[in-house]
Amino acid sequence: MLTRRNFTIGCGLLGSSVAVLGARLGITDPAPFNTPLPIPKLIDAAKQASAVALKVISGRHAFVKGKPTLTYGYSAPILGPVIRLHQGDAVEMTVENALDVATTVHWHGLLVPGYNDGGPQQLIHPGKTWRPVLKIDQPAATLWFHPHPHHDTARQIYMGLAGMIIVDDGSDARLGLPRTYGIDDLPIIIQDRTIDSDGSIEYENNTLNALDIAYGARGETIIVNGVIAPVAKVPPGVVRLRLLNAANAQNFELRFNDKRTFYVIASDGGFLAAPVPVKQLTISPAERFEVLVDFADGKAVALETGPDEEMGVFGRVAPDGSADYVAVMRFEPAPNTTIVKRVPKRLIAPPLVSSASAARRRQFILDSGLCASRPQVNAHADMPALIGINGKSFDIERIDVETKLGTTEVWEIVSIGMAHPFHVHGALFRIVSIEGAPPPAHLAGWKDTVLVEDKAEILVAFNQPATREHPFMYHCHILEHEDAGLMGQYVCA
């Protein structure tokens, strides 16, 4: 197979960067599993009069013991709180920017109007405060929040800015799901970093050479909730993991080292009709899956990730540059009162949708410019080789698409160069087809991000307004692609 280390052919433009990447491999020691999984502070909006304050700060965090380094976080040195929001509430958010650069906060997956969405138009300058009032009007789901300032999104997220949102609609108890935060309902935020010998992760160290832009900034070291190879003590029963891929570019290929079956219960936009048993789960940047894992056998088990299969001409590459699985974290069932014993049979079926009712159809060709290796490249050979959608690089002054409020559209997404995780703001969608086939069961529910290797058709439901002043974005969620222009804007009225 091709690895970053031995990759030299077919991509002459990038040849010079390969040596740089090779030198970075294998810096951090492998998994000791001796750091307890950090559980971010839970802010339940309902318990504080629906007012939530976040402060965007810089701080210091030691990825490597004894070597603290500069990081960013939301009211924390790295990452931020988990915010629980309740359907039907109006939540007063206060976001103060204490950084020395402008930022924005985008509520990824939250269905709010364009003026509250936190896209690149809504800069919060240093020392300023943003106060959106968010009306929560969607079913239970695991969402997240992160910065979105154009050209600086990738760096700011890499420095640590990401937090989780749980939308609660009261269905957990009725469904008998694990729901005790930090005990049997765990946020699992997975990222990868390049950690230098001095313990730093500064994005400048990961200088944006052509290779980083071509396939996104990737690191050899996996972190979960901000730490390397943590261990979580769990009850010996059914545990719910809210998996969020908050990496800049890496797709995680998750499985347990004993190959046990686990159950996908929710995708980006909420519950599936029934738990879907899987042994392996691909999660691309910005995607979320809620899964149930049964630890009743009392055995310790490691979650691990395998080679990224979606690297186009680069082939399969594991985060550490090898071709093997690497450990992400470990779970140790501890004697405890088991809270939930059973995986439920049924969840909440998303409504049936039909593309027959779609108001129109559009095509979006995502081209990361370099190393186009996929068959579609011939079909679209007339397109200029640049990072952009339908041959156009992002322009904040340009509205690319006009949609009608209350309608659905079929969007055909075509990936060139490598697999791109495509995300739409302000709307949820259902996958109609992916790589020419109907979606597998765990991808059949509501989504806001989909990994497209060659081609997918999605049925997008537009139910939130967005004006020319505050349009919604759609883009590749490989953050270096997004910053480089693989993004467009739509209005909805």
Interface ranges with ligand C2O (CB under 6 A) = 106, 108, 146, 148, 286, 423, 425, 473, 475, 477
Indicate the residue among 146 and 193 with the shorter CB distance to ligand C2O: 146
Q: Does 475 bind Cu ion (CB under 5 A)?
A: no
Q: β-strand 455-462 against 427-434: which pairing, if any?
A: antiparallel
Q: Give which of ligand C2O, Cu ion, none residue 240 binds (C-beta under 5 to 8 Å, depending on kind).
A: none
Measure CA 269 to chain center. 13
Contact characters 394-413, Cu ion, x per CB under 5 A:
--------------------
Angle at 320 between CA 316 and CA 322, to 5 degrees: 50
Indicate the residue among 108 and 155 with the shorter CB distance to ligand C2O: 108
Cβ 493 vs Cβ 405: under 8 Å: yes
Q: Give which of Cu ion, ligand C2O, none residue 374 binds (C-beta under 5 to 8 Å, depending on kind).
A: none
> Taking the complex as a whole, how short is the minimal distance between the CB of residue 394 and ligand C2O, in angstroms?
11
> Taking the complex as a whole, how short is the minimal distance between the CB of residue 22 and Cu ion, in angstroms?
23
Q: Does 478 bind Cu ion (CB under 5 A)?
A: yes
Q: Does 476 bind Cu ion (CB under 5 A)?
A: yes
Indicate the residue among 364 and 462 with the shorter CB distance to Cu ion: 364
> Taking the complex as a whole, how short is the minimal distance between the CB of residue 65 and Cu ion, in angstroms?
35
Q: Give which of Cu ion, ligand C2O, none residue 255 binds (C-beta under 5 to 8 Å, depending on kind).
A: none
Which residue from 312, 363, 355, 361 is spatially nearest to 488, judged by alpha carbons? 363
Radius of gyration of the chain (CA): 21
> Taking the complex as a whole, how short is the minimal distance between the CB of residue 435 and Cu ion, in angstroms?
17
Start-to-end CA distance of the chain, whole Å, equals: 49
CA–CA separation, 144 vs 449, rounded Å?
Answer: 12
- The single residue among 84, 106, 193, 420 that binds Cu ion, judged by CB under 5 A, is 420
Q: Does 481 bind Cu ion (CB under 5 A)?
A: yes
Indicate the residue among 425 and 481 with the shorter CB distance to Cu ion: 481
CB atoms within 10 A of CB 323: 14
Indicate the residue among 243 and 311 with the shorter CB distance to Cu ion: 311
Which residue from 491, 388, 368 is spatially nearest to 117, judged by alpha carbons? 491
Q: Give which of ligand C2O, Cu ion, none residue 478 binds (C-beta under 5 to 8 Å, depending on kind).
A: Cu ion
CA–CA separation, 410 vs 307, rounded Å?
Answer: 32
Indicate the residue among 239 and 244 with the shorter CB distance to ligand C2O: 244
Q: Give which of ligand C2O, Cu ion, none residue 223 binds (C-beta under 5 to 8 Å, depending on kind).
A: none
Q: β-strand 326-333 against 301-305: which pairing, if any?
A: antiparallel
The DSSP 8-state label assigned to residue 40 in this structure reads P
Indicate the residue among 211 and 484 with the shorter CB distance to ligand C2O: 484
Q: β-strand 42-44 against 82-86: which pairing, if any?
A: parallel
> Taking the complex as a whole, how short is the minimal distance between the CB of residue 472 and ligand C2O, in angstroms?
9
**Closest-approach residue to ligand C2O (CB):** 108
> Taking the complex as a whole, how short is the minimal distance between the CB of residue 129 and Cu ion, in angstroms?
33
Q: Give which of ligand C2O, Cu ion, none residue 106 binds (C-beta under 5 to 8 Å, depending on kind).
A: ligand C2O
**Closest-approach residue to Cu ion (CB):** 476
CA–CA separation, 412 vs 459, rounded Å?
Answer: 9
Q: Give which of Cu ion, ligand C2O, none residue 476 binds (C-beta under 5 to 8 Å, depending on kind).
A: Cu ion
Which residue from 346, 275, 290 is spatially nearest to 164, judged by alpha carbons? 290
Cβ 165 vs Cβ 83: under 8 Å: yes
Indicate the residue among 340 and 478 with the shorter CB distance to Cu ion: 478
What H or E segment, with its residue span, contains residue 134? strand 133-135
In sequence order, what DSSP letters do the residues of 247-296 get, joined into one string? -SSPPEEEEETT---EEEEEETTEEEEEEEEES-EEE-TT-EEEEEEE-T
**Beta-strand (E) ranges in 288-400?**
288-294, 301-305, 326-333, 360-368, 387-389
> Taking the complex as a whole, how short is the minimal distance between the CB of residue 481 and Cu ion, in angstroms?
3
What lies within 8 Å, CB to CB, of 207 at 6+ separation is: 20
Q: Give which of Cu ion, ligand C2O, none residue 218 binds (C-beta under 5 to 8 Å, depending on kind).
A: none
Which residue from 20, 285, 306 is spatially nearest to 157, judged by alpha carbons? 285
Go through 194-211 and write b for each residue having 16 or more CB atoms within 10 A of its CB, e for each that does not.
Answer: bbbeebbbbbeebebebb
Indicate the residue among 84 and 425 with the shorter CB distance to ligand C2O: 425
Cβ 72 vs Cβ 160: under 8 Å: yes
Q: Give which of Cu ion, ligand C2O, none residue 177 binds (C-beta under 5 to 8 Å, depending on kind).
A: none
> Taking the complex as a whole, how short is the minimal distance between the CB of residue 109 and ligand C2O, in angstroms?
8
> Taking the complex as a whole, how short is the minimal distance between the CB of residue 398 and ligand C2O, in angstroms?
17
Measure CA 349 to chain center. 23
Q: Give which of ligand C2O, Cu ion, none residue 21 binds (C-beta under 5 to 8 Å, depending on kind).
A: none
Contact positions toward Cu ion, by CB under 5 A? 420, 476, 478, 481
